[in-house]
């Protein structure tokens, strides 16, 4: 009997036996609303060694839509987990425990109402086999579809049905604990935000699909006890092992990046292979030392133990020498006594880093995507772990470069298969802050071609570099232009003025981007080493964020600044900054208004940031003295401004409805009518302190 074998981090396949080539398909529903996930579980026995390599196992669903359109959706390997919040070391942690063996699934969100006809097709080392034809129904829904670059104004985004989509949100980049990340996404949605940028590439300190998560060391202190296999075994094999050497008591610690969950009062077996110098043994600390006697040749070992009645975690495991010398450990494994999934996959020193996908983190990303769907939040998912790829992308055309392309294509195929169904995945981002000097153009070209083939819903694609402007802004297979910018003392006096800083970044983007949505997808305040700035703690109300949000929203960018310090925002409960913005922008005609920089000016030391077009004008008026520095550091409370006059030229001769908005509450405080005199509208500004916003819209157009 062939089976998928889960190691906890990777999935391998045993060979299928004769006569085991049927494919049974189980549907999550027989009728689903339009743009809603249908999940298919595929009961089959593939033949191959690597479930993540489509050259070995190509499992797809051939689909015919109600209109006759032919589609193909790749299937993916899936490991289920049990999940619950538990305490570990006095802190709340997410307990994950694999359930059953890995299996194959496919996900699809129909875009047409009617009957779909499908067939599962498997191509592998044993040949080609397909399932019987199956069908499901798609019902109408009110969902707006996938997010696109607007065909009417390419500076902005819209849904498939033409509804504008203006980004209001922030980063929630490092997912250490799925429950906490989901709570942040929920809070964003409750406060009017619609966007979160999430990393699935955070190496071993947070969620990462493809990364070296090792039980033997960490990325920031990578000195693992991993060596080539000694003796003739090493001569005939490239396999690695763990070496412990030194005086009696020398140790190696098994400390997975993902804490290993256990079930209470359950029997487990820790197994592996060992060889050692004469007289040297290894003591295992598993509820009391158990010594493995060493021999000069490799010998298997097995130690059984039972978890305590309240023990939910394995904890770190020390392997200690009993005498001076050396010992070598390989094939370390932890499973329940009766069998089941591997629990100690991170201890496998021969697990490939590229092309191996962390199933626990994939499961967490499932939870994040589903939470975003429920909260009305759309995601930019950063996929590729930069430091794995950067060394191989230095020379275009090299064998290493071509290998990076192949691994990148595999990963994006997996991502498209697993999360590409979701309308709430707005943008795939390849890298966070790649080296802008590297020749990445062909890499993005080749990955873009594969995305266009396997991602039938054509999600947007992006990437970012560690300095801007970037050559990526011009790449035809990157759909947005992403810039990262932080207020820092190294920037000079402008770091004290968040509004001037944002508008300066906007100008740089405009000079380099003419036909794409431009985003400030990272923003915040740091010291000169890019760490949490001490001044940030003094800006308790996040005045710098309030002003940066309003400056960016009416600057011509495709969204607000996306703040980096999500934990600060969560701990201080500062989500309230998003709701006023969300309310204000809800009816701005981003894609149809032919919006341009406003001509509006205001006296009394008031700066105007805004847009205007055929429907009218949308303005933010800001007291130039009301910067974060003056308020939070210099302690100058904004004084009320009375009697200011705002003037705007270039509006059509018509009657306009005017709304004055409180930018902290997101409420209209005054309504009035206006009509141009000549080519100019002049308005008395209500008394305000700090800032105020205004809509001037042609009567009947809003």
Average pLDDT over residues 280-286: 89
CB 56 within 8 A of CB 125: yes
Q: Describe the crossing of helices 359-375 and 178-190 by its angle, rounded to 10 degrees.
A: 20
Mention every residue, 6+ apart, whose C-beta is less than 8 A from residue 145: 35, 111, 159, 160, 161, 423
Q: What is the pLDDT of residues 388-440, one digit of tens each?
A: 999 999 999 999 999 999 999 999 999 999 999 999 999 999 999 999 999 99
Per the listing, tokens 């409805």 go with 657
**Fold match between domain 4-143 and domain 226-347:** no
Quick one: which H or E segment has residue 487? Answer: strand 481-487
Whether pLDDT at 11 is above 60: no
- Of 94, 363, 102, the closest CA to residue 209 belongs to 363
pLDDT bracket for residue 71 (50, 70, 90): very high
pLDDT given at position 197: 98
CB 140 within 8 A of CB 113: yes
Whether pLDDT at 701 is above 70: no
Query: What are the structural domain ranges in the chain?
Result: 4-143, 148-208+355-588, 226-347, 593-702
Is pLDDT larger for residue 477 or for residue 702? 477
pLDDT bracket for residue 87 (50, 70, 90): confident
- Distance (Å, whole) CA 645 – CA 553: 22
CB 485 within 8 A of CB 522: yes
CB 318 within 8 A of CB 285: yes
CB atoms within 10 A of CB 93: 18
pLDDT given at position 286: 79
Q: 139: helix, coil or strand?
A: strand
pLDDT given at position 89: 78
- The first and second tokens of residue 564, run together, are 């980096």
The torsion angles phi and psi of 324, rounded to 5 degrees, stand at -65, 135
Architecture of domain 4-143: Sandwich (2.60)
CATH topology of domain 593-702: Immunoglobulin-like (2.60.40)
The torsion angles phi and psi of 421, rounded to 5 degrees, stand at -70, -25
Average pLDDT over residues 596-608: 96
Q: 175: helix, coil or strand?
A: coil
Q: What is the pLDDT of residues 371-382, one digit of tens each?
A: 999 999 999 999
Query: What mean pLDDT value characterizes the chain?
Result: 94
Using a pLDDT cut of 90, give the percent of the chain over it. 90
CB 246 within 8 A of CB 324: yes
Whether pLDDT at 88 is above 50: yes
The torsion angles phi and psi of 59, rounded to 5 degrees, stand at -115, 120
- The first and second tokens of residue 311, run together, are 């023990």
DSSP sequence for 82-134: EEEEEEETTEEEEEEEEEEEEEEEEEE---SSEEEEEEEEEEETTEEEEPPPE
- Distance (Å, whole) CA 554 – CA 156: 12
Q: What is the pLDDT of residues 156-193, one digit of tens each?
A: 999 999 999 999 999 999 999 999 999 999 999 999 99
- Distance (Å, whole) CA 472 – CA 671: 44
pLDDT bracket for residue 291 (50, 70, 90): confident
CB 221 within 8 A of CB 196: no
pLDDT bracket for residue 18 (50, 70, 90): very low
- The first and second tokens of residue 579, run together, are 């709701």
Whether pLDDT at 7 is above 80: no
Query: 148-208+355-588 domain in CATH 3.30.200.20?
Result: no
- The first and second tokens of residue 423, run together, are 């309308």
- Of 443, 448, 451, 389, the closest CA to residue 419 belongs to 451
Whether pLDDT at 3 is above 70: no
pLDDT given at position 4: 41
Whether pLDDT at 1 is above 80: no
pLDDT given at position 102: 93
- Distance (Å, whole) CA 167 – CA 562: 9
- Distance (Å, whole) CA 197 – CA 102: 29
- The first and second tokens of residue 652, run together, are 């059509």
Is pLDDT larger for residue 620 or for residue 49? 620
Query: 226-347 domain in CATH 3.40.50.300?
Result: no
CB 612 within 8 A of CB 618: yes
């Amino acid at each position: 009997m062939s089976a998928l074998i889960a190691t906890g981090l990777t999935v391998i396949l045993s060979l299928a036996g004769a006569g085991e080539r049927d494919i049974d398909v189980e549907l999550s529903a027989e009728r689903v609303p339009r743009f809603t996930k249908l999940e298919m579980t595929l009961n089959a026995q593939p033949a191959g060694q690597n479930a993540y390599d489509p050259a070995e196992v190509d499992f797809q669903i051939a689909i015919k839509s109600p209109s006759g359109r032919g589609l193909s959706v790749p299937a993916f390997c899936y490991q289920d987990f049990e999940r619950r919040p538990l305490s570990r070391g006095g802190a709340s942690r997410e307990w994950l425990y694999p359930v059953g063996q890995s299996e194959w699934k496919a996900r699809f969100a129909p875009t047409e109402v009617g009957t779909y006809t499908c067939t599962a097709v498997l191509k592998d080392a044993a040949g080609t086999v397909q399932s019987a034809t199956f069908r499901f129904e798609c019902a109408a829904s009110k969902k707006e579809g996938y997010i696109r670059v607007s065909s009417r104004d390419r500076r902005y985004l819209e849904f498939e049905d033409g509804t504008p989509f203006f980004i209001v949100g922030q980063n929630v980049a490092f997912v250490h604990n799925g429950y906490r990340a989901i709570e942040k996404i929920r809070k964003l949605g409750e406060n009017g935000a619609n966007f979160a940028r999430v990393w699935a590439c955070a190496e071993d300190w947070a969620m990462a699909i493809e990364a070296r998560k090792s039980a033997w060391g960490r990325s920031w202190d990578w000195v693992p006890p991993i060596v080539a296999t000694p003796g003739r075994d090493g001569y005939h094999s490239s396999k690695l092992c763990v070496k412990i050497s030194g005086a009696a008591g020398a140790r190696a610690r098994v400390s997975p990046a993902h804490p290993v969950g256990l079930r209470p009062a359950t029997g487990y077996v820790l197994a592996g292979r060992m060889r050692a110098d004469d007289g040297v043994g290894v003591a295992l600390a598993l509820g009391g030392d158990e010594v493995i006697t060493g021999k000069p040749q490799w010998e298997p070992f097995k130690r059984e133990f039972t978890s305590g009645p309240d023990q939910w975690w394995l904890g770190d495991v020390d392997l200690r020498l009993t005498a001076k010398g050396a010992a070598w450990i390989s094939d370390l494994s932890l499973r329940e006594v009766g069998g089941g999934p591997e629990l100690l996959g991170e201890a496998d020193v021969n697990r490939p880093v590229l092309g191996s996908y962390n199933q626990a983190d994939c499961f967490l990303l499932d939870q994040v995507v589903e939470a975003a769907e429920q909260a009305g939040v759309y995601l930019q998912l950063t996929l590729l772990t930069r430091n794995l790829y950067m060394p191989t992308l230095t020379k275009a055309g090299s064998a290493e470069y071509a290998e990076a392309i192949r691994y990148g294509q595999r990963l994006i195929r997996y991502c498209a298969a697993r999360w590409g169904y979701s309308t709430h995945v707005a943008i795939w981002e390849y890298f966070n802050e790649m080296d802008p000097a590297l020749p990445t153009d062909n890499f993005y070209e080749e990955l873009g071609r594969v995305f266009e083939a396997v991602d039938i819903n054509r999600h947007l694609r992006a990437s970012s570099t560690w300095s801007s402007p970037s050559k990526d802004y011009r790449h035809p297979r990157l759909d947005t232009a992403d810039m990262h910018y932080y207020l820092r003392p190294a920037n000079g006096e402008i770091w004290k003025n968040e509004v001037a800083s944002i508008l300066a970044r906007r100008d740089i983007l405009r000079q380099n981007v003419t036909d794409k949505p431009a985003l400030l997808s990272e923003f915040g305040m740091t010291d000169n080493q890019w760490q949490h700035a001490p001044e940030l703690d003094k800006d308790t109300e996040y005045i710098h964020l309030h002003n940066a949000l309003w400056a960016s929203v009416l600057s011509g960018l495709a969204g607000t600044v996306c703040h980096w310090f999500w934990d600060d925002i969560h701990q201080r409960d500062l989500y309230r900054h998003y709701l006023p913005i969300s309310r204000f922008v809800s009816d701005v005609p981003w894609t149809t208004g032919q919006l341009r920089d406003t001509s509006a000016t205001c006296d009394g030391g008031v700066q105007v940031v805004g847009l205007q077009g055929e429907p009218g004008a949308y303005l933010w008026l800001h007291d130039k003295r009301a910067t974060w520095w003056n308020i939070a550091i210099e302690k100058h409370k904004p004084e009320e401004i009375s009697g200011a006059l705002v003037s705007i030229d270039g509006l059509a001769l018509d009657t306009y409805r005017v709304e004055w908005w409180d930018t902290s509450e997101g409420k209209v405080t005054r309504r009035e009518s206006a009509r141009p005199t000549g080519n100019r509208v002049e308005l008395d500004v209500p008394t305000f302190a700090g800032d105020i916003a205004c809509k001037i819209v042609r009567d009947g157009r809003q």
